[in-house]
Amino acid sequence: MIIFLDNDVIDPEFGLLVDLYEFLDHKLSDLCDRSAECSDPDASGLFDQMEYLSGFGLVALQTYLTETAAWAGLRKHETFDLGPKTTSGVSKIKILNAVANFWKHREEWVLDGGEKRKAAVDELFEEVGYTCDVDYPISGVLTELLSPLDVRFSSLLIPVKAWRDDLIKTSLAEQHGGQISSEGSRSVP
């Protein structure tokens, strides 16, 4: 839930995401250091651990997107046009949501004939030059989406915050008949 106090926006869920991402960045940095010292980090499972933690971090993001969209009275997919876009105009948030869906559902697609769902997700992966069918696709998509920023979850907060700020502006504009009042021009942390 987002709360307005004077000219500030208080977003406790974003703060929780920040805390989780600091933890993930620390853990992933440790795994990267260990993989640099390891003769075969792939065979040792270090890359698998990094991919797992990355998938976990994106599912947490997806939860934040859902909660924040619901605060605005919208379903998550109705907000995918907001926030930063790729060079071809596809929402980065839409891609991140697809990556989270991939992480959560990839195994069941094999079981229940989810070829159409996989194809839709794969199309969004391809937007940044990846496919679902490579080793460590989550890490690859994150690397491409965050470029030129450091590939860290804390860097991911930048497009997420931009998406949230656009959602707030859109929500305020709709509440005020399509015009953002002076109340709507608040500073957003």
What is each CA distance from 142 to 48, 62, 108, 129, in whole angstroms? 15, 14, 23, 11
When pLDDT is averaged across residues 32-42 and rounded to a whole number, the result is 94
Query: Whole-angstrom distance between the N-terminal and C-terminal Cα of the chain?
Result: 15
When pLDDT is averaged across residues 101-127 and rounded to a whole number, the result is 82
Write down the pLDDT at residue 63. 96
Looking at the chain, the whole-number percentage of residues with pLDDT higher than 90 is 59
Q: Which of 2-16, 116-130, 131-145 has the highest mean pLDDT?
A: 131-145
Looking at the chain, the whole-number percentage of residues with pLDDT higher than 70 is 92
**Length of the chain measured in residues:** 189
Instruction: Kindly tell me if the per-residue pLDDT of 145 is higher than 70.
Output: yes
Write down the pLDDT at residue 125. 85
- Domain extent listing, the chain: 10-176
Instruction: Kindly tell me if the per-residue pLDDT of 10 is higher than 70.
Output: yes
Instruction: Kindly tell me if the per-residue pLDDT of 27 is higher than 50.
Output: yes
**pLDDT tens, position by position, 95-109:** 999 999 999 988 887
- Average pLDDT along the chain: 86
Helices (H), 38-132: 46-71, 92-111, 115-126
pTM for the predicted model, two decimal places: 0.84
- Residues in Cβ contact with 4 at an 8 Å cutoff, skipping those fewer than 6 apart: 10, 183, 186
